[in-house]
Each structure stands twice: as C-alpha cells, then as structure tokens.
Copies of this chain bind each other. A is one copy, B any other.
C-alpha cells in the first residue's frame, strides 16, 4: 500500500475504482515478466501474432501503418499504462506495427494470465475494455484532426492530447512534460511534412503557446493552447478534467 503504483494501475484507476486486491493483482501481473526495447526498434510488426500482450511501463511508442511507397502514418502514440495489442486477445494477426520511440520498459502478459484476470476480476476487465474504447475514441479524434484542422491546429492538438494523457497518469510536472517526439514523428502523425511542421512549431513558439527544449514540452497557458488546437478534451474520457476547463468554455453538450 505504501508502494508507488505502477503505470498500468494508475491508468486503470483513471477509469474505475480498484480494490487493494485488484492493485496487488496488477502489481504481480506487471512484475512477472518484463522486457526492455531500444529506441526505433519495432516491438511488433504488421502481420505478426505475438504470443503475449505488452503493457508499457515506461517510455513512448507509436502505432503506425506503412504504405508501399515508404510513407508512414502514425495512428496513435502509446505511453505508460497503455496496452499494445489487446487486439490479439481476439484478432489473430496485427494489422499495424508498433515501434519504440524512446527506450521502452514493457510488461509481458501471457494469454493465460490475462484470461485468468478476465474470468476472475470484473473491475480490472472492465477497466481494460475501457482503455480499449478510449483508445478508439482517440482514433476518432485523430480522424477529426486530420480531416478538419489546419496545420497549427493539428500540432497544437497533439501537444494538448499528449500532455493531458501524461497528466492523467501523473507524468507531468506543473505545465511541462517529457516530449521525445522528433519533428518527423509529429509530421507522420499529423499528415504534414517535417518541413512544414518545423515552420508551424516556430509559429506556435512565437505566439507563446509552447516551449520545447531538449525533449521537454512546456505549456505556459493550457487554455490558450486548447483554443489554438480547438481541443475539447471530453474525448479522452478522463475523470478529472476540471483543471483544464473554465467557466467561459461552452460545454460540449450544450446546444443542438
């Protein structure tokens, strides 16, 4: 109980209250078998059927698909507490790849172990599906981002999203957080070129919306950045978003 909870536990508690037993269960699960992956290495490649399910305990990864011409679209980032491939509990083959951005620390969950959980711990099972559905909601928001927003909006949106996701698992310090993405990564996630990402980030910097120095992002004014990115954080389904809303914001479910 006096122990610092691991990333998975922190993540699940964002959605569902867990009992002490649940937490112990998760701790055991995450300690059982861990693995380290070096930056830029593929964790799982499209078409593979890994024997176990990974949970990120530390570091950043990205989910992506490649096209024949070599272009890469990142479809999501994964941070501590994220599950890599719950898919495989049901689907048989990966339909996309996952690659390490930073050095990664992973927990490996065998299928039997997970099956055990699913049949015994309702709380944890519910929370796991919750994580899965939230990640689907994030996919939808990325579709909106790519389809409707301008370059500065897309990038501001990405900064907000990652900050809020890190905050929900306790990985922010005040208004700054680690931010290991290269401008190339940002380009592949936002459907822009790295040249344009570069110019756009400079613009956001000039407007005083963000500061980035040595893999660290600082957001001087969160509400302003949210406006710049037209972000409505509801899609993240976090419990405590009150910090980043104000009375002036029109509620998402107001009119129409």
Contact = CB atoms under 8 A, between A and B. Distances in A.
Contacts of A66: 256
A188 B130 CA distance: 28
Contacts of A129: 90
Interface string A226-256: 0000100011010000000000001011001
B139 A143 contact: yes
A99 to B, nearest CB: 12
Contact of A146 (B46, B135, B143, B235): B143
B95 A140 contact: yes
A223 interface: no
A65 B143 CA distance: 10
A91 interface: yes
A77 interface: no
A253 B95 CA distance: 10
A178 B141 CA distance: 29
Given A67-B230, A90-B126, A143 B144 contact: no
16 contacts: A46-B253, A47-B253, A63-B140, A65-B144, A67-B144, A71-B148, A73-B143, A73-B144, A75-B143, A76-B140, A90-B129, A90-B130, A91-B130, A95-B140, A136-B139, A143-B146
Task: Name the residue among A91, A95, A130 with the largest chain B CB count within 10 angstroms.
Answer: A95
A148 B95 contact: no
A147 B188 CA distance: 8
A190 interface: yes
Interface in A47-97: 47, 63, 65-68, 71, 73, 75-76, 87, 90-91, 95-96
A194 interface: no
- Per CB-CB distance, the 5 closest pairs between chain A and chain B, nearest first, are A47-B253, A147-B191, A146-B146, A139-B139, A73-B144
Contacts of A200: none
A114 B189 CA distance: 37
Contacts of A126: 90
A142 interface: yes
Nearest to A140: B75
A133 interface: yes
A137 interface: yes
Interface string A186-200: 001111000000000
Contacts of A134: 91
Given A75-B143, A146-B191, A91 B230 contact: no
A53 to B, nearest CB: 13
